[in-house]
């Protein structure tokens, strides 16, 4: 399916008209199916409630049945209470009532990552690393992060009391903060990677994301000559469609087909085209970064840039979420989010990966998809869901040892302890700091067991529990002694990764999320490859099919 803007648009219009025509004849059948199914469901439901041996909570049974119903479809069709709908409302409004603290769970304790500039939390001098022990009268230790977040948020003008422990300070302190309107900031970091190459990391596509990027680009232009722009959408889960299209319009030409949505309901069938002049001249090179955590709106933007040959896509293949959801209110307390259409980018590619229906027997038919697509410059594009980068950079592998250090929060805990004891953090992570960390691990209770040792210990347990082998004596202590000696080797083998991790956590305590991102970018393999690609004009043009 070769990309051609006008021809593609005419084809899609013809398809949409045909779908609408067919729907007119099928509506009657649909309502008859609904009526028959409704009668059957009610009959069974009535018999169960009236005749089951024990009394049944009718509301709980109903909710369970509805959740099972949606669970049989795709992962994004869900039944929601008002509480569960809150994140969607924040996404669509781009703001919420709160105190402006980015928080995370560290060692079962609610911990401040960074306060938002201008927020009540920032004005009260709450710092990265502060631990929130209570919200009003509710203890947060061991509490789910989402529940803790909901406790802190509330109506603008109301007050919330936070009990905070600051590492290194013996006495906990109570902060009484008045909730304010907090704007969601989707850009977590922006700066120049080097002269001429600007960088923007977008964490999500909530309301206002387009305006944020526009402002960030304007700021970059004021600070230097913007010859290339890197838009980092790695681990960006998506968000609002209108914001994804708004971002794409900043880089595309008026009249360009950006996206098509196709569904069974005629209201779901739409063609979106760019209607504004781009913010950046076509001489400015573009690189969009993606990975397996880039989904939905992120894939739309990356796919548009790739299909129209406006820039290079760098990183690893994206998630493959190309389904459109619409929120329907059921009553005052409940809503249902239903997949109503699918996303198709300019070349005609479907973003959604195949086999997404949990119970395929429920779907009457699924139209086969084309497998060959081309960009505007006739580049062959890979399909079957998700976006495959033009420049593939495999994620840097991480050893089991480093994974366990992160999982057990050893780097963060050490950073907090070091700052508490030394007051100031070092500019560089030298051998003295690393030796300090090694001593810290010896006392922290850190446990590392690699896959082989785990398997041996599990086998030993099975042998000891098997009555048939009660007289068998297996002495594995010499083997375990070898593993203990290997743990010493693991530290030295991972010394460079440990150094980077400590630097990252020190930077977070010093400068919040911005400081951490800036520290991590120095060692980012994808960033290095992106700069290399943008610096080589011939390679960049060849990748996009401009030079053969």
Show the domains of the chain with their CATH numbers. 95-183 (2.30.42.10), 187-320+345-393 (3.90.226.10), 400-529 (no CATH)
The pLDDT of residue 2 is above 50: no
Residue 526 has pLDDT above 50, yes or no: yes
Q: Is pLDDT of 370 > 70?
A: no
pLDDT for res 321? 94
Residues in the chain: 548
What are the φ/ψ torsions at residue 97 (nearest 5 degrees)?
-90, 120
Identify the band that residue 379 occupies on the pLDDT scale cut at 50, 70 and 90: very high
User: Annotated catalytic residue: which of 130, 307, 390, 524?
Assistant: 307
DSSP conformational letter for 294: -
* Residue range 268-307, pLDDT digits in tens: 899 999 999 999 999 999 999 999 999 999 999 999 999 9
Q: Which two tokens stand for residue 159?
A: 């007050």
Tell me whether residue 93 is one of the annotated catalytic residues: no
pLDDT band of 92, cuts 50, 70, 90: confident
The token duo for 192 is 């120049």
- The rounded distance, in Å, linking the Cα atoms of 240 and 260 is 15
Average pLDDT value for residue range 209-216: 97
119, pLDDT greater than 60: yes
Does residue 170 have an active-site annotation? no
Confidence label for 15 from pLDDT (cuts 50, 70 and 90): very low
Q: What pLDDT score was predicted for residue 31?
A: 79
So what's the pLDDT on residue 136? 93
Phi and psi dihedrals of 491, rounded to 5?
Answer: -60, -45
**The token pair that represents 270 in the structure block:** 């739409």
Helix %, strand %, coil % for the chain, to 5? 45, 20, 35
495-521 vs 410-422: helix crossing angle, rounded to 10: 80
Structure tokens given for 435: 């030796």
Confidence of residue 19 (pLDDT cuts 50, 70, 90): very low
pLDDT at 253 over 60: yes
Query: What's the whole-number average pLDDT of the chain?
Result: 88
- Give the global pTM: 0.84
26 carries an active-site annotation: no
Average pLDDT over residues 433-457: 86
Structure tokens at 227: 């010859």
CA–CA gap between residue 440 and residue 434 (Å, rounded): 10
Give the per-residue pLDDT at 48: 93
Is the pLDDT at 169 greater than 60? The verdict is yes
Q: Of 148, 296, 316, 347, which is the active-site residue?
A: 296
* Residue of 134, 207, 321, 337 marked active site: 321
């Amino acid at each position: 399916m070769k990309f051609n803007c006008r021809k593609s648009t005419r084809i899609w219009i013809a398809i949409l008209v045909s779908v609408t025509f067919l729907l007119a004849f099928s509506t009657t059948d649909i309502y008859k199916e609904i009526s028959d199914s409704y009668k059957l469901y009610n009959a069974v439901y009535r018999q169960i409630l009236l005749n089951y041996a024990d009394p049944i909570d009718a509301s709980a049974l109903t909710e369970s049945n509805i959740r099972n119903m949606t669970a049989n479809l795709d992962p994004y069709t869900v039944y929601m209470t008002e509480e569960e709908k809150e994140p969607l409302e924040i996404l669509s409004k781009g703001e919420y009532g709160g105190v402006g603290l980015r928080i995370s769970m560290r060692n079962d304790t609610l911990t401040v990552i960074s306060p938002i500039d201008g927020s009540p939390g920032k004005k009260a001098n709450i710092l990265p690393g502060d631990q929130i022990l209570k919200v009003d009268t509710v203890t947060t230790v061991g509490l789910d992060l989402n529940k803790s977040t909901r406790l802190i948020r509330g109506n603008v003008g109301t007050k919330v009391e936070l009990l905070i422990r600051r590492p290194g300070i013996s006495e906990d302190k109570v902060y009484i903060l008045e909730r304010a309107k907090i704007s969601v900031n989707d850009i977590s970091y922006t700066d120049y990677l080097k002269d001429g190459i600007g960088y923007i990391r977008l964490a999500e596509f909530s309301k206002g994301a387009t305006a944020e990027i526009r402002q960030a680009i304007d700021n970059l232009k004021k600070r230097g000559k913007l010859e290339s722009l890197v838009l980092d959408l790695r681990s960006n889960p998506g968000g609002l469609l209108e914001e994804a299209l708004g971002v794409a319009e900043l880089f595309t030409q008026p009249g360009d087909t950006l996206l098509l949505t196709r569904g069974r309901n005629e209201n779901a069938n739409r063609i979106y085209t760019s209607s504004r002049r781009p913010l950046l001249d076509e001489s400015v090179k573009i690189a969009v970064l993606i990975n397996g955590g880039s989904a939905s709106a992120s894939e739309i933007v990356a796919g548009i840039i790739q299909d129209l040959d406006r820039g290079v896509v760098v990183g690893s293949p994206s998630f493959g979420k190309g389904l459109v959801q619409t929120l329907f209110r059921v009553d005052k307390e409940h809503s249902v989010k239903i997949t109503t259409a699918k996303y198709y980018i300019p070349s005609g590619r479907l973003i959604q990966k195949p086999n997404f229906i949990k119970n395929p027997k429920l779907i009457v038919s699924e139209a086969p998809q084309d497998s060959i697509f081309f960009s505007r410059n006739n580049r062959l594009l890979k399909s079957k869901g998700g976006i495959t980068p033009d420049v593939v950079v495999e994620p840097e592998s991480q050893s089991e040892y480093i994974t366990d250090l992160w999982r057990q929060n050893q780097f963060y805990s050490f950073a907090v302890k070091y700052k508490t004891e030394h007051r100031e953090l070092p500019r560089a992570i030298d051998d003295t700091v690393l030796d300090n960390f090694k001593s810290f691990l010896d006392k922290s209770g850190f446990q590392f067991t690699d896959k082989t040792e785990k398997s041996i210990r599990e086998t030993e347990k099975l042998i000891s529990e098997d009555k048939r082998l009660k007289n068998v004596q297996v002495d594995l202590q010499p083997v375990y002694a070898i593993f203990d000696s290997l743990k010493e080797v693991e530290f030295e083998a991972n010394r460079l990764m440990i150094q980077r991790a400590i630097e990252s956590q020190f930077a977070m305590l010093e400068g919040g999320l911005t400081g951490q991102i800036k520290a991590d970018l120095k060692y980012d393999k994808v960033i290095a490859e992106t700069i290399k690609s943008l610096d080589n004009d011939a390679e960049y043009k060849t990748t996009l099919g401009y030079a053969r």
